[in-house]
Amino acid sequence: MPQSESAVSAGLAAAGPFSDAERAALYRAIETRRDVRGEFLPRPVPDAVVRRLLEAAHHAPSVGLMQPWNFLMIRSPDTRERVRQAFEAANAEAAALFTGERAALYRALKLEGIRTAPLNICVTCDRARGGPVVLGRTHNPDMDLYSTVCAVQNLWLAARAEGIGVGWVSIFDEGRMRAILGIPAGIAIVAYLCVGYVDRLHDRPELEVRRWAKRLPLDDLVFSEAWGRTEAADEPVAEGGIAPAGGGQS
């Protein structure tokens, strides 16, 4: 027998906008979040704070509520040193892919804080969790990976609110990392994070500060109804059949 409407509604809570202060704090966390590499302080992150970060990550949305994530906590200097060596080997390979001024700039960038951050977290995705058929994943098997990335973002934003920096290290050989951390086959490595307190952050993304790249204009990335169709193309045609200035598809 299907549940009655009243039984279903009993599990609902009131929804509405946050207060102005709460909303401002949320957007501030989003807009000032940075990929931290060289600003970590040696101060340990208390267990209670780490727990709050993990709870935030664990409250991320996941396809079919499969919650595919695990969080491997890494504090040992020996383990972190082996991870750093794996990074250095992969980073040398990556540097060889760039030429000219780009190569020189790449070699000048600091791309990890593995040893200086007091806590490292490897976030993984158990691709078998939830069984062979998962609601919402039937036609896109990568939804579990996307769900795990949502957990990473939740952790990152919560960390920003706590005054804690996070750096995502993506330059490593996966096989070597699996061997160091004992990660079995079937478990995907999604993110290796360096986590620690910071007392200052770049006011813009560091790669923008270092002139490696810059933020693209949002308006260039927003389409309407079909790929490549700009919002301006959907503006109503002015009286007389002449499109407003700037209208039409580019």
Q: What class, spelled out in words, does domain 35-215 have in CATH?
A: alpha beta
For residue range 202-218, list pLDDT tens digits in order. Answer: 999 999 999 999 999 99
User: Tell me, what's the pLDDT at 113?
Assistant: 95
For residue range 157-200, list pLDDT tens digits in order. Answer: 999 999 999 999 999 999 999 999 999 999 999 999 999 999 99
Residue position matching structure tokens 């990074």:
87
User: Tell me, what's the pLDDT at 230?
Assistant: 86
Domains in the chain: boundaries? 35-215, 217-250
Q: Extract the tokens encoding 25.
A: 């704090």
Q: Which amino acid is at 59?
A: H
According to DSSP, residue 183 is labeled: P
**What residues form DSSP beta bridges with 203?**
none
Write down the mean pLDDT value for the chain: 91
Cβ neighbours of residue 202 under 8 Å, at least 6 residues apart?
Answer: 34, 209
- Confidence label for 4 from pLDDT (cuts 50, 70 and 90): low
Residue position matching structure tokens 């002139």:
211
Closest CA to 192 of 144, 241, 122: 122
pTM of this structure: 0.88
pLDDT beyond 70 at 105? yes
User: Tell me, what's the pLDDT at 11?
Assistant: 82
Positive or negative, the CA dihedral 31, 33, 34, 35 is negative
pLDDT beyond 80 at 5? no
